[in-house]
């Protein structure tokens, strides 16, 4: 188990450095200072680091976020039939004809304009992901 491996001194918790190593081992990237600061500030001040239960909660949330992002990427790629890395209005209309054929074209155009946050006529994956997440934070 990663927790035990990173808790080399058998302290029963992960220090800031231990946590960074655990993230690299599990997710393949070095966490930013902001991410580590956020995690470390959320732990109980009476402990010297992240306990197993807290670590498992962090990992669970990160895995869920990773899975959701992978699903979003899969959907985006299915709509991006020309593999350009963005969706045009035509791509968007075609996708909506497949998933919501009765939706008026005017509504599709309104949605496209809303999702195309920088108004460049293209929906990037970032725009698409933002649209999928819109309203999710309040739930």
| 3-state DSSP of 28-73 | CCCCCHHHHHHHHHCCCCCCCCEEHHHHHHHHHHHHHHHHHHHHHH
Task: List the domain boundaries for the chain.
Answer: 1-62, 80-138
**pTM confidence score:** 0.67
Least confident of 69-73, 87-91, 128-132: 128-132
Judge if 1-62 and 80-138 fold alike in CATH terms: yes
Look up the CATH superfamily of 80-138: EF-hand (1.10.238.10)
- Superfamily of structural domain 1-62: EF-hand (1.10.238.10)
* pLDDT tens track for 21-33: 999 999 999 999 9
């Amino acid at each position: 188990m990663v927790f035990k491996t990173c808790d080399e001194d058998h302290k029963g918790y992960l220090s800031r450095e231990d946590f960074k190593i655990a993230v690299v081992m599990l997710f393949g990237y070095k966490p930013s200072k902001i991410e580590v600061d956020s995690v470390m500030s959320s732990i109980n001040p009476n402990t010297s680091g992240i306990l197993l239960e807290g670590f498992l909660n962090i990992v669970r949330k990160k895995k869920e976020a990773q899975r959701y992002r992978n699903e979003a990427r899969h959907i985006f790629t299915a709509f991006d039939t020309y593999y350009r890395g963005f969706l045009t209005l035509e791509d968007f209309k075609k996708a909506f004809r497949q998933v919501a054929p009765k939706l008026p074209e005017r509504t599709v155009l309104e949605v496209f304009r809303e999702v195309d946050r920088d108004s460049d006529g293209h929906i990037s994956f970032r725009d698409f992901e933002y649209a999928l997440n819109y309203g999710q934070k309040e739930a």
